[in-house]
Amino acid sequence: MKSFYVEQIPIPNASTREREAISQLVKKCLDAKGINCEIWEKEIDERVAALYGL
């Protein structure tokens, strides 16, 4: 993939608080080795979608 295309992907600015919240959810999923993480994954998806205004 050419960097030109990657550079055009919009990356929203998340607050430190939001980045930390998402990071903690990801850590929970990693610590659980992906087992029974559906609730945390759903919350991650919702938070990321909100950042993109979806």
Q: What mean pLDDT do residues 18-43 have?
A: 94
Domain membership of residue 28 (yes or no) is yes
Indicate the number of domains in the chain: 1
Question: Is 2 within the bounds of a domain?
Answer: no
Q: Which domain holds residue 43?
A: 13-51
Q: Check pLDDT > 70 for residue 27.
A: yes
Q: Does residue 2 register a pLDDT over 80? A: no
Cβ–Cβ under 8 Å, residues 28 and 37: yes
pLDDT band at residue 26, thresholds of 50, 70 and 90? very high
CA atoms within 13 A on the CB side of 36: 1
11 has pLDDT over 90 = no
What's the predicted TM-score (pTM) here? 0.77
* Alpha-carbon span 28 to 41, nearest angstrom: 10
Residue 5 lies in a domain: no
- Looking at per-residue pLDDT, the higher value among 4 and 13 belongs to 13
Distance CA 29, CA 5 (A): 30
